Structure 1
């Protein structure tokens, strides 16, 4: 092997370097030559040089002997160490894109593999930064990451929201706390000229769903002067944006009492009490109630949590998506608009569209797909890593058959 800097070598089996050389960043445990580099010799998160079977270094990454994805490549070649300086550089590159995309500092700043920092997510809420490490390697680098964030962004506070279920795959503990500075109350995100209070410690994910920002921007032509139902509303992002874009009436529905309280605060904050209301209810139960009351909406927005979190959940999850879309169509007014989304990576775009079509045929409706939706550009897709493209959706017109 050529110069391996100061990192121990992780040798790949013959031919197992092809995917990495094609652009991917993951090494699976069965691709490692454990005779030359036993996984038991590494600590979770330890930095390593990833080396092909001929002894040529591919680059630097980190290893977790306890995970199916046993290593992740972070730096190609051996010229640059995996340290704070490298993180500073990657943050600056990521920041350059976001500053081109957005006029205000509210966005996903780092989207893991797509921004060259696998296992790391960073969301920006003005001068509050919310970080999430989902791998042992990034967890071990957390101090260097914090120092890099301070150097590049000079934030008032850094929150570590490390309670994602995916951390269990890396045998990492769950916690959520302030790691730097002092957290203002409330934390506010700005989108589309509106302000939303969010909770980066106790809320869902990092506190806000930036991945739908661009899709919410598309609402104006569909909602102006219309009655809108926002199902699985969380903090009211879709619903309040619809109201701001001209909807005559908006109803936001969420099963969480805390979320509904937050929606009501956001309604007040943005002066929309005359046209937006929030209802605490299960999505399926509320859609059934509205159908029984023969209520009609011109636009129904479905942005549910992931029904297919694992591959084995696909069959059951597909049924749930079909049911939800069918119930939504039943309360749409004639030639109404259905906005339907899935954030389940294991629910392919084609399968979601098939579920929509099956729902329509079951109740004798016809669907026209007007627009296809995907995650916002601050969640860039890595073309070699299909897992980075997870959000999909459709804006549909629903007609009598």
Structure 2
């Protein structure tokens, strides 16, 4: 099948040749190939100003990112065969890394499939399409997943805010199979039951798995506070690691119901308690009650969703880390994370340090945290490197 060309302006191919996969709308030669001639999700061949084909991708004329490169060269088709190959390559890495089938199976651009995320929960796959191109290719993705994994069910969890930028609808539904049996995830010998249709993101945050493994070394016999706990992955891992008491705080009552059920199912209910409420408000109440914790984990949703929010986001990270440090016992441990891509790693550390100085505390960084290896970072695409964190010792000045 011959695909229509999408021509780039002169000099606009450098970033793609360096490894990036995105074409912005102002980089397209609209005289030779009007973007408006394409329908959202149409396949194309991306061609430089010298008529050399860079690769096959797809177009969305309604998006600032007008096209995404999926396969280099012009011989590939965007079909089941391509997705089967990419899935097998991604699967080979995960099977080397993990003893059990619980991980992010495919991470968008880093695994060669822009706009597609797949999370694996044993025999259930939760997929997320964030681009018009992948939305159009859903049948091919489903066929590839069936061929490679043969799961009992696959779910499309297509309710991420980024879909608005592609003019895509929000929804969650079952692609195939059934969900009569509960969907569960195992981590660190614990078992959690998930709501993959109604829960946050794809139901679980695999990106912090390796960081939660690190936390276990600091919690034995300690009192732990898990802020923005969601299903309690940090808190329950701490309890399983020997923490004498764990308090989990989240704004979602539904998530806390599942957290409490997981604590009971894993034999941890006697040492785990949950509190429903806004994190800032609950921390203020705990401070007023003169509560103290040996370890505080702060793992919030993104405070910076757009570049224009950076100044406000910096202040929010500073405030939440200050509030956390005010609840720390002397010689306490602070785990502070950010999933805001637009906030640089150094800015998070700066927010921690600024809060510490205002409280006349001293911070020692013990470990630098990042997303796990099932979220590989593409060296040419900084957008794939989003999760940053610090495990700190906080001392009196």
TM-score, normalization by structure 1: 0.98
2:195 aligned partner: 199
Counterpart mapping for 1:265-304 below 5 A = 265-304=261-300
Q: Compute the displacement of 1:317 (Å).
A: 1.2
Distance (Å, rounded) in 1 between the aligned partners of 2:376 and 2:180 = 29
The answer on 1:171 being equivalent to 2:174 is no
2:180 aligned partner: 184
1:367 aligned partner: 363
1:214 aligned partner: 210
- The one of 32, 47, 63 aligned to 2:59: 63
Distance (Å, rounded) in 1 between the aligned partners of 2:181 and 2:236 = 21
The answer on 1:306 being equivalent to 2:302 is yes
Distance (Å, rounded) in 2 between the aligned partners of 1:80 and 1:69 = 22
Distance (Å, rounded) in 1 between the aligned partners of 2:247 and 2:47 = 56
1:25 aligned partner: 21
Distance (Å, rounded) in 1 between the aligned partners of 2:371 and 2:361 = 28
Q: Compute the displacement of 1:79 (Å).
A: 2.4
1:388 aligned partner: 384
Deviation string 1:308-340 (CA, Å, 9 cap, x unpaired) is: 111111111111111110011111011000000
Aligned CA RMSD, in angstroms, stands at 0.7
Q: Which runs of 4+ in 1 moved over 3 A?
A: none
Distance (Å, rounded) in 2 between the aligned partners of 1:49 and 1:282 = 49
SS in structure 1 at match of 2:366: strand
Deviation string 1:94-140 (CA, Å, 9 cap, x unpaired) is: 00000011000000001000000000000000100000000000000
- The one of 133, 136, 141 aligned to 1:140: 136
Q: Flag structure 2 segments of 5+ consecutive residues without an equivalent.
A: none
Distance (Å, rounded) in 2 between the aligned partners of 1:391 and 1:356 = 16
SS in structure 1 at match of 2:267: coil
2:248 aligned partner: 252
1:111 aligned partner: 107
Q: Compute the displacement of 1:246 (Å).
A: 1.2
Q: Compute the displacement of 1:80 (Å).
A: 2.2
SS in structure 1 at match of 2:264: helix
TM-score, normalization by structure 2: 0.99
Deviation string 1:233-281 (CA, Å, 9 cap, x unpaired) is: 0000000001111111111111111111111111111111111111112
Q: Which moved more, 1:273-282 or 1:358-367?
A: 273-282
2:89 aligned partner: 93
